[in-house]
Structure 1
Amino acid sequence: MQTILDLFRLDNKVALVTGAASGLGAAIATALAQAGATVAVHGNRRAATETAAAIGSKAAAFRADLSTIDGANELFGQVVDKFGRVDILINNAGTIIRHAAEEYPLEDWQTVLQVNLTSVFQLSQLAARDMISRSAPGQNVGKIVNIASLLSFQGGIRVPAYAASKGGVAQLTKALANEWAPKGIQVNAIAPGYFATSNTEALQADETRNRQILERIPAGRWGQPNDLAGAALFLSSPASDYVTGTVMTVDGGWMGR
């Protein structure tokens, strides 16, 4: 007899997790592997070989530059050549570049939008084509989980490109969910709050800003990468087959404050 815990199993599934060399991506990839998935872990500037080695035989590392227009195609092709298909796509890779808005270089704007938004669309499109090719009426064939941000809802300071890209991720998630739910693909997003990762090192090191952030978080602490793993597993598993087009906040209560 199937139990509720069985709905969280990912046996015989192939998952691609971008930006999995460390931090949130590594934690998500590890969780999916522990639930039974075979995991393709992606790195860009830093290879994801350490993550793959820590997971073991159920993982393989891939490298591609998602800041280029061809990076998504190169990555997806590598993964399909190795594993034959993709059942779960976690669009976690992202970058942030800080400047005052009036001085923001167009080159940096384009880089952030390419990595954080355009490559998310490219990979989602590639994954959906692969999933739909294997679908049957009434069958759930795939999961796409995008990593959004609190700045999908708020504007931030000195990060106009990042805020624009993450706002776009939230809306793209809803648009793709509308089109692909009838084809058996659930598309959702997770909006992490303030997590202790390399992207937030400067904020953590700033005594004043760190205090202000902690005062706003009801949980009273920075999130740790493993705090995101449960939400990612839920949205990747059959337990969420009737959940699509949602942006789930995992933020220690920040948005409810």
Structure 2
Amino acid sequence: MSATRNLFDLDGRTALITGGSRGLGLQMAEALGDYGARLVISARKSEELEKAQAHLQARGIAVDWVAADGGRDESIAALADAAMDKLGHVDILVNNAGASWGAPAEDYPTEAWDKVFNLNMRGLFLLTQQIAKRSMIPRQRGRIINIASIAGLRGNPPGAMKTIAYNTSKGAVVNFTRTLAGEWGPYGITVNALAPGFFPTKMSQGLIASVGEDTLKAFAPLQRFGDEEDLKGATLLFASEAGKHITGQILAVDGGVSAV
């Protein structure tokens, strides 16, 4: 294998992926595992995690799972404990778990706002803090990949679902990423974010149904949705030695939607 190909090699690396049982999280778990990383995936539902584990193991990937609710402080602490126990240390943290809730801003329920922020931002921060203090900072190396969204870069078009808390929380993830990159760079930790556009997932199905598949595709210069492979290359870039000099960046993987 050439030296350039070796830049993406993750043999001997470990990774924790939240929301890793399906959708974009499972796609990224495939990418990291296929390139050699040993994984722990987490999500709320054990049955979905068991199914994802079997799927990944069939690809030859070493993977354990931990059921955890990223919106609850005590569950986050237990997840950090379990990840450290199973992996020994965490080289790569992918903060993918997230939630949305649709309602007009003028009538948006406070409890819905709190639920979205507790998972999308508070939980993300607490887990990142735990993993950094217990693994990345002592070892003076680490890769943190936060999953933002193009919803955190712009507002919703007229007629779209009304997701004020989701958009705001993803905007917070964007600046969290930039700020943390500056603070933890001296520890050898890179912090970057992916901002996916329209991917057919369980979370996006309401938006796709509301606006229409053809209409949403028309927003993208590439005239398509993201597919089951489209986050893999960017994930590997941020996770591997190929991205060791990249930090504080937000990479939109959206078919060009955010560029026009």
Q: Same fold (TM over 0.5)?
A: yes
Match of 2:36 in 1: 36
SS in 1 for 2:30: helix
> Residues 1-257 of structure 1 correspond to what in structure 2 (within 5 A)?
3-45=3-45, 47-56=48-57, 58-129=62-133, 130-135=135-140, 141-156=141-156, 157-206=161-210, 208-257=211-260
Amino acid at match of 1:143: R
* Native 8 Å contact 1:89 1:144 kept in 2: yes
Q: TM-score, normalised on structure 2?
A: 0.93
**Structure 1: gaps spanning 5 or more residues:** 136-140
Amino acid at match of 1:81: D
CA positional deviation for 1:84: 1.1
Q: Work out the percentage of aligned pairs sharing the same amino acid.
A: 37
* Native 8 Å contact 1:24 1:226 kept in 2: no
Q: TM-score, normalised on structure 1?
A: 0.94
* Native 8 Å contact 1:41 1:59 kept in 2: yes
SS in 2 for 1:16: strand
SS in 2 for 1:118: helix
| Structure 2 CA distance for aligned equivalents of residues 61 and 5 of structure 1 | 29
CA positional deviation for 1:203: 2.8
User: Could you give the per-residue CA deviations for residues 35-65 of structure 1, whole angstroms, max 9, x where no partner exists?
Assistant: 0000101111463222211111500111101
CA positional deviation for 1:70: 2.0
| Structure 1 CA distance for aligned equivalents of residues 130 and 7 of structure 2 | 26
Match of 1:138 in 2: none
SS in 2 for 1:99: coil
| Structure 1 CA distance for aligned equivalents of residues 82 and 95 of structure 2 | 16
CA positional deviation for 1:91: 0.2
SS in 2 for 1:182: helix
**Structure 2: gaps spanning 5 or more residues:** none
| Structure 2 CA distance for aligned equivalents of residues 155 and 106 of structure 1 | 20
| Structure 1 CA distance for aligned equivalents of residues 247 and 228 of structure 2 | 23
Compare 151-160 and 161-170 and name the one that shifted more: 151-160
* Native 8 Å contact 1:7 1:237 kept in 2: yes
Count of residue pairs brought into register by the alignment: 251
CA positional deviation for 1:2: 5.3
| Structure 1 CA distance for aligned equivalents of residues 5 and 66 of structure 2 | 31
* Native 8 Å contact 1:186 1:243 kept in 2: yes
* Native 8 Å contact 2:144 2:189 kept in 1: yes
| Structure 2 CA distance for aligned equivalents of residues 48 and 74 of structure 1 | 16
